[in-house]
Amino acid sequence: MRICIAATPSVAVPTLDALLASGHQIVSVITRPDAPAGRGRNLKSSAVSDWASLNKVQLHKPESSDEISLLVAQCDLVVTIGFGVLLPETVLDIPKFGFINLHFSLLPRWRGAAPVQRALEAGDSTTGVTVFKLDAGMDTGPIYTSLPFDISPTTNTADLLENLASLGVQAVLDAISLIESGQSPKVQSSEEATRAYKLTSEEAQIDWSQGSLAIVNKVRAFYPNPGAWSIFRGIKIKIDAAIVNESILKPGEIALQDKAVLVGTGGGAIELLMIKPAGKSAMSAAAWANGQHLLSHEKFEQFNG
């Protein structure tokens, strides 16, 4: 089968590798135009762009739906993974078999831009991958394949994305086999559908009046970007890792206990494991606390600006 791949992030790479090694022909790779990144705001290519260049696969960075239309007319099927562009049905209908998308949840749960993060934030114990046919809706198309995956209580977004990216390889290959055999996808139910809205830096601020588990889940979900954060002595502190602790402290209050750095919550306390002060590298919470010479009853502050 002649396949085009429309993708942007590094989580697409395992599937790209598998398709390159398969008997299918990768006609081209379509990715987002280079975008400013880092402190210098220099243009940076996507991980998929780098992969295509390394593997000498024809690469395109279209800036309009019209350009995409011309590119997908050359293939039988388009596989999308985190492409980040909503396309009209007039484009989706061009390839013989349309577009399929690898989505990192068990649809219809967590339709939208941040399914992995929202699953962790909600404390889900199971997620998975789904391959479905794109339609005009937001992740509402009929489903070809889905594979479940159990979530460890300590897993963060970076770890879970890596696991789901690997799991997605088989889901995509199975979906393509179903398409080749003439099987139709199954209509996706809208019952129990949930939306996985894009994360914002504002909502990443920790509300210390929440329960300990809710705060730990937010830390897991928002790592590495945008990062759960709070304010200490007027400086923004990102919290990269934390666990629930059975101690009882006032919300936001910081205490040291046998070298552990504890912070009070609305339902007890959490232990900070790794933090990243603004402008500095990540460090252990113990190392941070040693450098701060903490006073008794110091607290994380709430930023309301």
Q: What is the DSSP letter of 138?
A: S
- Which of the pair, 182 or 84, is modelled with greater confidence? 182
Average pLDDT over every residue of 41-67: 92
Whole-model pTM over 0.85: yes
Which tens digits make up the pLDDT trace of 260-300? 999 999 989 999 999 999 889 999 999 999 999 888 889 99
**Cα separation of 129 and 282, whole Å?**
31
Q: What is the DSSP letter of 234?
A: T
Percentage above 70 pLDDT, the chain: 98
Average pLDDT over every residue of 115-123: 98
Measured in whole angstroms, the distance separating CA 177 from the mean position of its chain's CA atoms is 27
pLDDT over threshold 80, residue 305: no
Beta-strand pair 99-103/126-133: antiparallel
Domains of the chain: 2-196 (3.40.50.170), 212-292 (3.10.25.10)
Inter-residue contact 12 to 34 (CB < 8 Å): no
Which tens digits make up the pLDDT trace of 174-184? 999 999 999 99
**Cα separation of 285 and 81, whole Å?**
36
**Cα separation of 158 and 161, whole Å?**
5
**Cα separation of 300 and 278, whole Å?**
14
Which tens digits make up the pLDDT trace of 11-26? 999 999 999 999 899 9
Mean pLDDT, the chain, integer: 95
Q: 3-state class of 231 per DSSP?
A: strand
Helices (H) and strands (E) in the chain, counts: 8, 17
DSSP 88-115: -HHHHTSSTT-EEEEESS-TTTTEES-H
With vertex at residue 158, the alpha carbon angle to CA 153 and CA 164, rounded to the nearest 5 degrees, is 80
